[in-house]
Amino acid sequence: MIDPKRVLRALAEHWSLLDPLCERFDSGTLSLVELRAQLAAQRGTADAAEITALLDQWIRLDILVPVAKSPNRFELNAQIHDFLAYLRREHRLGLCLEIEAYLRHLERLAGHIQEAFAQRDSQDLARQLRLLDMRVRDVLKKLANDEQALVGVAERAKTSDRQIPLRQRYAEVLATWDEYVEPMIQLVAADGAFEQGVRRAEQVLLHLLGEQQRLGQLVDDDLLLRTHARILDMQTTAQLTLRRARELLLPLREEARRHNAVTRGAALALAAIRRKGLDGVPQAALPLFSRPQSIFLGTANQVEAYVYALARFEAKPAHFPRAGGTRRHMPSRAPLTAREMIERCEQALPLPDLMQWLLDQVPEGATDELLYWFSRLSRDSRFQRERLARRDYLTREHQVSLSSYALTGRQA
């Protein structure tokens, strides 16, 4: 057995060296060379013998232990590491599963207590009650530690560099939420393992109190009442821890979600604009501005010009359809502009045959119009094109023979 006094003395004596080492060990193991370099830097000495003696002492006292299968690498003994973390007020977030395991154990202990009482075995009953009490204390300790660890998670997210991406900054928050808070919500829910375990232990203890009054005491009532009170305390603490976790992390999680939503929304809007133009963004979403309105009278010159323009106003001659004329077409559509046509063409890329595509697009189009578009689109510098073999195409009125183009994509 290692003498506790010697361990404690070594920790106290070498605290100034161990404290910074803890941080290094938090992020992994250290090789013998790294350890030596670290200690030499801290002590400001290059005396190898002195450092070797120090390391020997730590290894003998089990403060430092070799890493399994890597004898040249060392880590802090897990027990010592926990103790030092406690002293340094460092809290590592545990797993929700650990709490669940403790609670399952509580349920089993409640069963053992019931059996011991049924067999009137006072010694076993006292032992099981002590175990139950210790287990509850373990849960309480763990909850307190987890709460502090959660505070640390939120603080790290809030104080980290604002310039780094939010996804990175809040990665720990999001992971903590998914891996700790969500399962805790399930655990502490009315039908979760926490409530079940607590209810079972509580029922057994209350039943025991009643039975002791009827059948005579096997253990001190105070022990039962204390354990019962601690279980209730544990239940309240779990709920408070969960509430605190939500208060701390929910706003950050929401901020991260909002950030993601804004970035995604912007990307969606740009994609829409690329495909459909500026009007591709739903107009209802855009903010409305009151337009700058002139509320002042113009200058005399402006008024004069306005009146002059009014006086010389001539209406454009209106063309009325002839009464007897038969309309061969439905109300005429406004022609497509070059911009619209190019947009359509861009959206339809790649086109295996431009002329054929035009015939599909404008089946009623006149030959000259189709040829105009063919010439316009095939010459457009924004498209990559490949010449095709000559063949015949049938427009509404003519048979046209030409070498069409395949538009393979945008010009890089």
Partner 1 sequence: MIIDLKEMTLLAAIFRELLKGGHISRRDAELYAQLNTLQDAYRALFKAQGFELVCDSRGFYYFVPEQMGAQVNKTAQRLALFTFILVEHLADQGRDPLSVLDGGSLGRDELPGLLDKYSDLFVQAEVASQDELEEKIMRRLTQLGFASEEQGVYRFLAPMHRFLDVCLAVQQDRDLAASLHSHLPLPTPALGDDSESASAAEDDDEEQQLARAIAAERAAQEDLQ
Closest separation in Å from C-beta 329 to partner 1: 7
Instruction: Determine, following the binding rule CB under 8 A, whether residue 339 of this chain makes contact with partner 1.
Output: yes
Beta strands in 240-398 (DSSP E): 383-394
Six token digits for residue 394: 């049938």
Cβ density class 60-76: b for 16+ within 10 Å, e for less: ebebbbeeeeeeebbbb
Instruction: Determine, following the binding rule CB under 8 A, whether residue 16 of this chain makes contact with partner 1.
Output: no
Instruction: Determine, following the binding rule CB under 8 A, whether residue 349 of this chain makes contact with partner 1.
Output: no
Phi first, then psi, for residue 240 (nearest 5°) are -65, -40
Instruction: Determine, following the binding rule CB under 8 A, whether residue 17 of this chain makes contact with partner 1.
Output: no
Distance CA 74, CA 24 (A): 11
Phi first, then psi, for residue 214 (nearest 5°) are -80, -45
Candidate list 16, 333, 364, 401; residue touching partner 1; CB under 8 A? 333
Six token digits for residue 25: 């060990």
Candidate list 282, 310, 318, 323; residue touching partner 1; CB under 8 A? 282
- Total site size for partner 1, rule CB under 8 A: 65
Burial classification of residue 82, based on how many CB atoms lie within 10 Å of its CB (0-12 exposed, 13-18 middle, 19 or more buried): middle
Question: What is the per-residue binding string for partner 1 in 249-268, x denoting contact by CB under 8 A?
Answer: ------x--xx-xxxxxxxx
Instruction: Determine, following the binding rule CB under 8 A, whether residue 287 of this chain makes contact with partner 1.
Output: yes
Instruction: Determine, following the binding rule CB under 8 A, whether residue 165 of this chain makes contact with partner 1.
Output: yes
Candidate list 12, 68, 297, 334; residue touching partner 1; CB under 8 A? 334
Q: Which of residues 292-331 bind partner 1 (CB under 8 A)?
A: 292-293, 295, 322, 325, 328-329
Instruction: Determine, following the binding rule CB under 8 A, whether residue 281 of this chain makes contact with partner 1.
Output: yes
Bridge partners (DSSP) listed for residue 351 = 407
Candidate list 134, 225, 286, 349; residue touching partner 1; CB under 8 A? 286
Candidate list 164, 323, 330, 412; residue touching partner 1; CB under 8 A? 164
Distance CA 409, CA 348 (A): 10
Q: Do 279 and 214 form a contact (C-beta atoms < 8 A)?
A: no
Six token digits for residue 68: 């399994």
Could you tell me where the DSSP H helices lie in 277-366?
Answer: 300-311, 338-348, 354-361
Candidate list 289, 311, 389, 401; residue touching partner 1; CB under 8 A? 289
Nearer to partner 1, 132 or 166 (CB): 166
Nearer to partner 1, 278 or 394 (CB): 278
Distance CA 273, CA 279 (A): 7
Interface ranges with partner 1 (CB under 8 A): 162-166, 169, 255, 258-259, 261-279, 281-293, 295, 322, 325, 328-329, 332-341, 343-344, 347-348, 366, 368-369, 372, 376
